[in-house]
Structure 1
Amino acid sequence: MILSSARLALLDVVSPPFRSALWKVLGLTALVLVGLWFAISALFERVAIPFFAGFVPDMPAWVDNAGPFASVAAGILLAFLLAFLIAPISALIAGLFLDDVAEVVERERYPGQPTGVPLPFLKSLLLSVKFLGIVVLGNLFAFALLLVPGVNFVAFFAVNGYLLGREYFEFAAYRYRPEPEAQVLRRRYRGTVFFAGLVVACFLAVPILNLLTPLFAASFMVHLHQRVSAREGGLTRLSPPPGPAARLGDPGR
């Protein structure tokens, strides 16, 4: 179930119906990064350098002559900073298009099943912020891997496997189910969802490829939710506004 869903998600990411969302995410991410580059550069030149110069007014002559080298060093530092921000920014932006991605998967892959209901804007925005936090946390763990190998390697996949699996599966389920029911379903299949989250964490750990993590994860969890729902007796479309939750038997956390 997990492997077949992951295979379909990989095919989805490079398929023509996904290209619109892909180019939107990459284009907006590039615009935000360019804007940040100019903003941080201006802040460094106009605020940071004068601030530190105020503490050391009589700088040695060799420091005064090292201006070009300082600029190069600042540029390298800024490049590393923006490289760290690429994945979080793309996750935040992609979160706004996840319903489009889910709808494409449901329509193209499951034509005989009802199409889910897009999340309300505020709910979608909240999920985008949560996805941003998860990706930031994952990148911090990835950076820690360079410093203390072993324990942090396990922690990176354990934490991100749980968080990514939880949030993206619930996103796919919210399109068909009231929130309490979606959470209960996720708990019932907690092991499957966790291992699916590990697959997404592996995707997140690969530089450059991690730009596609939100799109891959959304497609992956839509496929997984479809398979889980088939075991539960099928899907019914959630009519907005949702009525009282028809709760599943809650097995507990």
Structure 2
Amino acid sequence: MILEAARAAMSRLFSAEFRSVFFKTLGLTLLVLAGLWLGAKELFEYMALPWFDALFPDLPVWVGWVGLVAAIAAGLGLALGLALLISPVTAIIAGLFLDDVAAVVEREDYPQDPPGKALPIVPAIVMSIKFFGVVVLGNIVALLLLLVPGVNMLAFFMVNGYLLGREFFEFAAMRFRTEAEAKALRRRNAGTIFLAGLVIAAFLAVPLLNLLTPLFAAAMMVHLHKMISATEGARVRDALETS
């Protein structure tokens, strides 16, 4: 079931509809990161450099070069920080387009089923922020556990597998169910959803490809929700027939 859902998601990943969502997400991500870069640069020049000049007004010329080197080092540090932010920022922006991804999968792969309902704008923004928090929290925890020998990679997969599986499955389920029903369905199938989350975590671990993680995860969980719903429906019908 999990591998079938992953395969189906991969088959859609580079379709024209998904590429459109990805390019919109990537474009907005680059705009946000460029804005953060310019803002941090202006803040540094406004606050740090005048303070340095005022504190050391009569230093020799070579000290100015030290300040220049420090500014370059700060710029490189900022660039590294922004590079680390690419994945989380992509996640929060992609969260705004996940309903588009789900709608494509439902329309193309399940045309006989009624389509799901997109989340209202406020819950969609809240869920987008949750995706951002999940990515950041998962990677912070994994980064801290890098200090513990023998568990670092395992920690990355366990933490991200649980968090990503939970959030993306509930997103897919809430297109057809209330939040309470989606959470209950997720709890009843916790093992399956966790294993699916591990597949998403493996996708997240691949550089550059990980920018597509929200799109892949959303598509995969739409398929998995459909499969789990069909399985539970068949189980209920069998129980009714035998009762």
Which residue is 1:136 aligned to? 136
Cα RMSD of the aligned pairs, angstroms, is 2.1
Question: Which structure shows the higher helix fraction?
Answer: 2
Which residue is 2:69 aligned to? 69
Which residue is 2:240 aligned to? none
The 10-residue stretch of structure 1 (71-80 or 125-134) with the greater mean CA deviation from structure 2: 71-80
Which residue is 2:28 aligned to? 28
TM-score normalised according to structure 2 size: 0.89
Which residue is 1:200 aligned to? 200
Matching of residue 233 in structure 1 with residue 237 in structure 2 = no
2-structure distance, mates of 1:25, 1:158: 27
1-structure distance, mates of 2:210, 2:149: 21
2-structure distance, mates of 1:42, 1:103: 41
SS where residue 65 of structure 1 aligns? Answer: helix
Contact 2:161 2:201 (C-alpha < 8 Å) held by counterparts: yes
Q: Where do 5+ consecutive residues of structure 2 fail to align?
A: 237-243
Cα distance change, pair 27–155 in 1 and its aligned pair in 2 (3 A): same
2-structure distance, mates of 1:149, 1:201: 20
1:66-215 superposed matches below 5 A = 66-144=66-144, 147-215=147-215
SS where residue 197 of structure 1 aligns? Answer: helix
The 10-residue stretch of structure 1 (203-212 or 47-56) with the greater mean CA deviation from structure 2: 47-56
Contact 2:139 2:160 (C-alpha < 8 Å) held by counterparts: no
In the TM superposition, what whole-angstrom CA distance separates every residue of 1:92-144 from its partner, at most 9, and x where no partner exists? 11101111100000001111111101111111111001000011123324544
Q: Where do 5+ consecutive residues of structure 1 fail to align?
A: 235-247, 249-253
SS where residue 96 of structure 1 aligns? Answer: coil
Deviation at 1:157, TM superposition (A): 1.6
TM-score normalised according to structure 1 size: 0.85
Deviation at 1:49, TM superposition (A): 3.2
1-structure distance, mates of 2:179, 2:65: 62
SS where residue 113 of structure 1 aligns? Answer: coil
2-structure distance, mates of 1:146, 1:51: 37
